Structure 1
Amino acid sequence: MEDSRYYLFQVMQRYENSDGISFPVYYQNLHETGIDNKFIFAVVNAFDEIKFRDSDFISFPIELIVDYIQRTHIYYLQKAIPDIKKTILLLAKSYERGHPLVNDLDLFFIKYQTELEAHFYNEDHKLLPYVALLNNAQKTIKYFHTWLLKKNAYSITNFVNDHDDTQTDLRKIQNHIMMYHPPRSSVISYRALLSQLRMLEKDLYVHSSIEEFVLIPKALQLENMLIEKVRANLHLN
């Protein structure tokens, strides 16, 4: 139960700034937020599960999935990553200048943040707008014509082929950190850093699973439906 409350807090931080959510939010007053309760339950349960269950998310509209992914990108870059960097700075104060662990952490996070930003930029400026276009194209002729003009420039297959893993490096750096014993004065920050990294790894796992097993299949279904519509029109003409 304690873990579930912690995961709920992590998830709800994505909605805090733009939706005026006041903390703490508990399960009993989740309905007061105006957010889809069933969706939040599904996400929190995904944190708790050993294996991701895509069946828990099939019923949710694609707009809700896209919104969550966009909010999660912002949460990572504006909250989760900066918090980890603060802990690294705090931990570094307990080591002598030039200590290999401090140097390795600095180099790792400069590289990791750069790669994560590039990863999210690609999704925010290519994948997610394209998915939104697919969703609108099935509803109105205006967006259908817009999709026709853009369908050769991008496809869901492009994303699947280019999609990279953002979790493996986090596991590696955790293993690297555990090779060093912290000074007595930095045990708390040392443990806090490992806890933050494990949480980010779990969060990224849920995030990437929602993309891979929920969003992409839904988008592919829409894309194939629109392609079939084009083929049917060509056949009729």
Structure 2
Amino acid sequence: MQIFKSQDRLAEVIEINPKLLPVINRFNISLGIGNQTIADICKQKEIDKEFFLAIINTYHNPEFFQELDPKKFSPLELVRYLHKTHEYYLNYTIPKLDELLDNLIESCEGSCGNIQMIKTFYNKYKNELKVHIDDEEKRVFPYIETLVGRKEKPVEFSIHKFEEEHTNVEEKINDLKNLIIRHIEPTYKNNTANEFLFELYRFEKDIRDHARIEDNLLVPLVENIEKQIKRT
């Protein structure tokens, strides 16, 4: 699969993979970008182009892997990006899924017991996702900020512990998708159900890529800082 480079025009990148738009938005880049290259826009927005390329290529290509140079990148850049991603999930994706599921339930004719079961499963997943995000925002990210600021040495927590505890929340989305595809009763409007399912597929990919960024980019950077502090 294609690897994007700094001389590529960002408009052409979007044409190749429009699903990158929400990712690009997390860098405060909006539409109306003209024919500027990635390098041009990153310079204009004061974004590190290598970091930007690492993120969009990770989302675009499941086989892509680039370990960021700890001498050039601060984990705080990744933390800011991941925080933007959490905001996108909480303020857009989840409300959108809520709306689509409500539309599906309203379109149902008959007993609709299976759709209500799907809503129960979905609500349970949604709550688990919010707990996962809250843990990262209140425990993991502050730990990284403290570590980078050299305010104290790591004692009770480490990024390795976070990696071990890291919940693969995308697995629950797959369960929900299969529940809909295999077991929903045909008492609904097809297009309404399809729309909800399409959004689940899109969100599943985003969540999976989000986890890859944490595991492949964030964890190695933080581990490097932990090792440096332990040597002091």
TM range (shorter): 0.7 to 0.9
Task: Identify the match of residue 112 of structure 1 among 115, 119, 125.
Answer: 125
SS at match of 2:100: helix
2:166 alignment partner in structure 1: 163
TM-score by length of 1: 0.78
Task: Find the aligned partners of 1:71 and 1:211 in 2 and give their Cα distance.
Answer: 14
Preserved contact between residue 54 and residue 214 of structure 1 (Cα < 8 Å): yes
Query: How far apart, in 1, do the equivalents of 2:120 and 2:192 lie?
Result: 19
Correspondence for 1:85 among 95, 98, 113: 98
Identity of aligned residues (%): 25
For the residues of structure 2 that align with 1:25 and 1:113, how far apart are their CA atoms?
Answer: 35
Secondary structure in structure 2 of the residue aligned to 1:66: helix
Structure of greater Rg: 1
Instruction: Name which of 204, 208, 227 aligns with 2:207.
Output: 204
Whole-angstrom distance in 2 between the partners of 1:13 and 1:101: 37
Q: Tell me the equivalent position of 1:220.
A: 223
In structure 2, the residue matched to 1:189 is 192
Q: Say which is worse superposed, 1-10 or 57-66, in terms of deviation.
A: 1-10
Match of 2:162, as an amino acid?
F
Q: Size of the alignment, in residue pairs? A: 213
Does the 8 A contact of 1:156 with 1:219 survive in 2?
A: yes
Matched with 1:129 is 142
1:232 maps to what in 2?
none
Q: 1:130 Cα deviation (Å)?
A: 0.9
Structure 1 residue matching 2:26: 3-state secondary structure: helix
Amino acid at match of 1:61: S
The equivalent position to 1:28 in structure 2, one of 24, 28, 36, is 36
Structure 2 residues not aligned, in runs of 5+: 1-12
Amino acid at match of 1:72: T
Question: Is 1:9 paired with 2:12?
Answer: no
2:59 alignment partner in structure 1: 47
| Secondary structure, aligned partner of 1:93 | helix
| Alpha carbons 1:73, 1:120 under 8 Å: kept | yes
Structure 1 unaligned spans of 5+: 138-142, 230-237
Post-superposition shift, 1:160?
2.1
Instruction: Give structure 1 regions of 4+ aligned residues with deviation exceeding 6 angstroms.
Output: none
Q: Whose helix proportion is higher, 1 or 2?
A: 1
Q: Give per-residue Cα distances to partners, 1:34-81, cap 9 Å, x unaligned.
A: 5445433432322221324134x4464322111111111111111111
Alignment correspondent of 2:7: none
Partner of 2:155: 152
Deviation by residue 1:195-226 (Cα, 9 ceiling, x = unmatched):
11111111111111111111111111101110
Q: Matched residues in 1 for 2:163 and 2:23: separation?
A: 25
Question: What is aligned with 1:61?
Answer: 74
Query: 1:158 Cα shift?
Result: 2.5
